[in-house]
Amino acid sequence: MRKLLILFAKVPEPGKVKTRLSPFLSKTDAAKLQEAFIKDLLDATKQLSDTRAVQCAIACAPDIEHPFFQRCGEKYDLRFMLQQGKDLGERMLNAFLWGFENGFEKIVIIGCDAPTLPAAFIPDAFEKLSATDFVLGPGLDGGYYLIGTRRMPPKKQHALPALFEGPAWGTETVLTHTLEILNRQKFAYQLLPFWYDVDRPADVVFLKEHLKYLRSQEAPMPRETNHLLALLKTDKDLGA
């Protein structure tokens, strides 16, 4: 069964990404942090594509031809698609439809805001899709860091757009709204463990402390993120 992992990513340009981190971080540093997150997630998921168990792709914004994405394509085995839609929900729906049109049977979407996301969560998500219609990775902020689905019979497939209509994207109500729709439409679904995104200054402070813990446990590290945070701010500046 063909599997597709899609990473949603914007070009890491100053002033266009991680805007909620300003003025805690400068626009340039926030963009560098976003770039580090993307690189670390590509490194973490590389093993999946190396085994050919999963095809990886980037849903790009604002365009596919940007040099940053082209450099990613030179290093990793990736497909590229353009994010299309008026809001995040429509863009995710179109990404799922693109995957199904290209012959994939199981599709998982992740964002690029969770650099410490355990890599094992992703194969677990695909495994859960063998027995359920949807899988969600619930976020501590009330959203979700991962959503996946599988090719379903036409009647269920036609109900897919309803899942991406209505929530105030980027708020703490997204997960609850999504679960309400899944229950109302009688979709079968399973949940992964809760995890955290890095969107606000307090999240950066927590990330820095979490990285210290991972080092103490000799656990896998998001190397680009770890290196960059050590350069950007002192412990005092980050509130440590």
Domains and their CATH numbers in the chain: 3-198 (3.90.550.10)
- Residue 236 is predicted with a pLDDT of 44
Residue with tokens 């976020």: 139
| pLDDT, tens only, 80-113 | 999 999 999 999 999 999 999 999 999 999 999 9
Name the nearest CA neighbour of 224 among 211, 213, 233, 206: 211
The mean pLDDT of the chain is: 92
**What are the percentages of helix, strand and coil residues in the chain, rounded to 5?**
45, 20, 40
The string of pLDDT tens digits covering residues 160-204 is 999 998 778 888 999 999 999 999 999 999 999 999 999 999 999
- Residue 233 has a pLDDT of 60
Residue 234 has pLDDT above 70, yes or no: no
Q: How far apart are CA 52 and CA 206, in angstroms?
A: 35
